Amino acid sequence: MKNYVVAKQSTVPRRCLVLGGRGFIGSHLTRALLAQGHEVRCFGRYGSGALDNELANHPNYDHFEGDFNSAADLARALEGMDTCFHLVSTTLPKSSNADPLFDVESNVLGTVRLLTLAVKARLRKVVFVSSGGTVYGIPESVPIHETHPTDPVCSYGIAKLAIEKYLALFHAQHGLDYAVLRLANPYGEGQRIESSQGAVAVFLGKMLRGEPVEVWGDGSVIRDYIHIDDVVDVLLPVLEYQGPERVFNIGSGRGHSINEVLDTLERAVGSDVARRYRPGRSFDVPESVLSIERARRALGWSPKVDFEQGIERFASWMKAQLAEQLEQVERA
């Protein structure tokens, strides 16, 4: 994982609640915030435990276990905080249509509950990680700007968009500051390769295990992939941003087809993978590449990790992790 260097502080340290702090993005963000001198309360599910001993013993780190849909847990987690990073999602794009009621109840209603409690707790700001890949639906033009029509084709995207609208409502009614980051497809060190989310991680895991890869469609679907370091590097300046913009696309600004992703992974791993092509899925839009000019202009941010370089780093990290696990098994 990235070793964040503490820069000269030009802002007052914040007290940050990271909802989903045990997850892929949340764990990287937590470390980065601590490195910059902020206080961090990491909200994870019951039984999740602290990230590691280093964090558990950090003077500015507070591990909090709770249920996102519990008003009592959220109220306790918000006590004393001035900023909240909302990274929680209970569904995936491919599964959300199977049970949209659960999607709405757990994500949309859960977030409205959070915002209501945030106003009572006098929270300063909410930073919400939305979905740049699903809120727009089938693009009318590429790259996709923030002003593009929003016509999601899956419940996941509809829920994310609804949350964005409620953030705007609470800002208008209660003055609750907020920012929305419509994120492309993040990947990188620390991502779980055994999960069903994140094409790069899923493909890499199968390749390292010697398993075939299933591709939905002919592999021509194009997506925007962004390395986790670049994601964290844009989350940090949002803390102090006071400009007029509220919604930002966050991606690499470039698109890669599924076949190109597999080609790049094969070069990084050093071996070919068996590809099994399946019929395409109705919720997969053919191409999604985000325009990131607004974030460049307003936040002074731009992605720095080249796709091929990022894939090589991720593959090398994962190989080292698997080698360490094998060594531990052999020693046991």
pLDDT at 4 over 50: no
Q: What is the pLDDT of residues 90-124, one digit of tens each?
A: 998 888 999 999 999 999 999 999 999 999 999 99
User: Mind listing the domains of the chain with CATH numbers?
Assistant: 89-331 (3.40.50.720)
Contact criterion met (CB below 8 Å) for 95 and 75: no
- pLDDT above 60: residue 277: yes
322 — pLDDT class (breaks 50, 70, 90): confident
Residue 137 confidence (pLDDT): 93
pLDDT at 11: 65
Q: Among positive and negative, which fits the CA dihedral 176, 245, 137, 190?
A: negative
By the 8 A CB rule, do 212 and 273 touch? yes
| 107 token code pair | 């994500």
Q: Quick check: 256 and 225 in contact, CB under 8 A?
A: yes
DSSP string, 32-88: HHHHTT-EEEEEE-TT---S-HHHHT-TTEEEEE--TT-HHHHHHHHTT-SEEEE--
Give the helix/strand (H/E) hosting 248: strand 247-250
For the chain, what percent of residues have pLDDT higher than 90?
83
Candidates 4, 46, 61, 156; catalytic one: 156
**Least reliable range by pLDDT among 40-44, 277-281, 324-328:** 324-328
Q: Write out the two tokens for 192.
A: 């779980």
Q: Is 156 a catalytic residue?
A: yes
SS (HEC) of 124-164: CEEEEEEECCCCCCCCCCCCECCCCCCCCCCHHHHHHHHHH
Residue 289 has pLDDT above 60, yes or no: yes
* Rounded Cα distance, 61 and 15, in Å: 10
The residues, any chain, with a CB within 8 Å of residue 189's CB and separated by 6 or more, are: 1, 2, 228, 313, 314, 317, 318
Would the pTM count as exceeding 0.85? yes
Instruction: Answer yes or no: is pLDDT of 1 > 90.
Output: no
Condensed to tens digits (0 to 9), the pLDDT of residues 68-79 reads: 999 999 999 999
Quote the strand ranges of 146-239, DSSP E: 177-183, 185-187, 213-216, 222-223, 225-227
Q: 9 falls in which pLDDT band (50, 70, 90)? A: very low
**What SS3 class is residue 256?**
strand
